[in-house]
Amino acid sequence: MSTPISSPVTDLLEAQGIAFEVIEIPLTEDKKPVRNLEELLSSQGHDPKSVVRSLLFKTGSDNYVLLAVAGGGRADWGILRKHLEERKLRMAEFDEVPEATGYVVGAVPPIALPDSITVLLDESVAQFDNVVIGSGVLGYALGLTSADLQKVMADVDRGTFVKE
């Protein structure tokens, strides 16, 4: 499959024989993704709520945790702390994201991450037939089936980590 981008994410999907669509996300002059992402995705036939956000946290014991969540839910801090057996948890700082993940903010995928990051998959991802994930390359996202994403993420902890 020929794609206009190449990243550890596309390499992983191609190696597993998983079909995906490359979605171009125009950048503003200051190299930030467009503000009307929902409108852009809708115009291309994607449900804007199907975007799988990759939320990076840092624990009190200095470990990074990435929560993959779809829809509009917000992370439930209490559930996360309990699941991780951590008393302290905070969102990663902007400059910590590329340092920890190897990807810039706005392109962080829920897969193809360093082994040092604990990944959690929220059950909200299963609510969608198709999802959109970070591609690892700013200005692009990837569309694939939710079932394929869950297959790639079969080894990560799953649960309900958000509140609506």
Q: What is d(CA 28, CA 142) in angstroms, rounded to the nearest whole number? A: 19
| pLDDT, tens digit (0-9, with 9 covering 90-100), for 58-114 | 999 999 999 999 988 899 999 999 999 999 999 999 999 999 999 999 899 999 999
pLDDT the model gives residue 42: 83
Give CA–CA dist 79/93, Å, rounded.
21
Consecutive H or E run containing 78: helix 77-84
Domain ranges of the chain: 8-163
d(CA 160, CA 61): 23
Establish how many alpha carbons lie within 13 A of residue 133's alpha carbon, considering only the half-sphere containing its beta carbon: 30
**Do 21 and 142 form a contact (C-beta atoms < 8 A)?**
yes
CATH number of this structure's domain 8-163: 3.90.960.10
Beta pairing, strands 53-59 & 64-69: antiparallel
Burial of 13 (0-12, 13-18, 19+ CB in 10 A): buried
Query: Tens of pLDDT along 9-28?
Result: 999 999 999 999 999 887 76
Question: Are 122 and 28 contacting, i.e. CB atoms less than 8 angstroms apart?
Answer: no
Report phi then psi at 83, rounded to 5: -60, -40
What's the pTM value of the predicted model, to 2 decimals? 0.91
